[in-house]
Amino acid sequence: MGARREVLQRLRATRRAVNHPAPWKSRRHFDDLAERFAQALTAAHGEVWRAADLDEALERLGAFLAEIGASRVIVNHEPPLDGLDFPARWPHIEWFVVGQTPGDLRAFAASADVGISGAQAALAETGTVVVCSGPGRSRLTTLLPPVHVAFVPVARLTVDLFTWVADRRPNPMPANVVFVSGPSKTADIEQTLAVGVHGPTRFIAVLCP
């Protein structure tokens, strides 16, 4: 322990302030971020709905929930969803609002038909939605139900990962950041693609103002 302590003391004595370089920003450019995002996500087996406003997006969501016969839905309490009363809008569905509904969140998420979240950002280059943890934002909402629907305000579209890190990443960073590029996918050594093995089988990004 004496030698270890001596080494650590020497290291502490030589510490000095370091000026780290600024985050690098790519020079990529897309004329239409929403169109590029939709193309990239669709190519990754995801789905994109484009709505003129939030009301239109919710109408599309209601039709979709009816189409798949959803009976249990978990939703994160985050923008642009936190001002909406989902149980009042669709009372025939059992809802769990993260941070608002009492009960076992994990058990509900595991049996839910759909999980609905917001998005921290969306990366046009790869069709990726950035989902962060935090108050009202449960990772289980986006991981356990077979369908994940993410509401993405178009103002949160950015070019790529480098631009997001340089200009828009939250500070301080949350405990967990997930980059979602379509439904869960994996492949064996022969590259036979399987969808939904480790997470949702469908991923839908709803682009709205």
| Percentage of the chain modeled with pLDDT above 70 | 100
Dist. CA 175–CA 1, nearest whole Å: 34
The confidence score (pLDDT) of residue 198 equals 81
pLDDT of residue 124: 98
Average confidence (pLDDT) over 73-101: 97
pLDDT recorded at residue 192: 85
Mean pLDDT of all residues belonging to the chain: 94
> Does any domain span residue 20?
no
Domain contains 8: no
Q: Which domain holds residue 190?
A: 30-208
Map residue 67 onto helix, strand or coil. Answer: helix
**Does residue 81 fall inside a structural domain?**
yes
Q: What is the mean predicted confidence (pLDDT) over 111-119? A: 98
**Total structural domains in the chain?**
1
Q: How far is CA 23 from CA 129, 161, 164, in A?
A: 20, 11, 10
The pLDDT of residue 157 is above 90: yes
Assess if residue 11 is contained within a domain: no
**Residues contacting 43, CB < 8 A, separation 6+:** 127
133-143 residue pLDDT tens: 999 999 999 99
- pLDDT reported for residue 113: 98
The predicted model gives 135-158 an average pLDDT of: 97
Indicate which CATH number applies to the domain containing 173.
3.40.50.10420
What's the pLDDT at 1? 64
**pLDDT on residue 194:** 82
Could you tell me if residue 140 is inside a domain?
A: yes
In-domain check, residue 25: no
Q: 32 vs 35, 51, 74, 151, 163, CA distance in Å?
A: 5, 16, 32, 19, 16
**pTM exceeds cut of 0.75:** yes
Q: 3 in a domain, yes or no?
A: no
Burial class (CB in 10 A: 0-12, 13-18, 19+), 82: middle
Q: Is residue 117 part of a domain?
A: yes
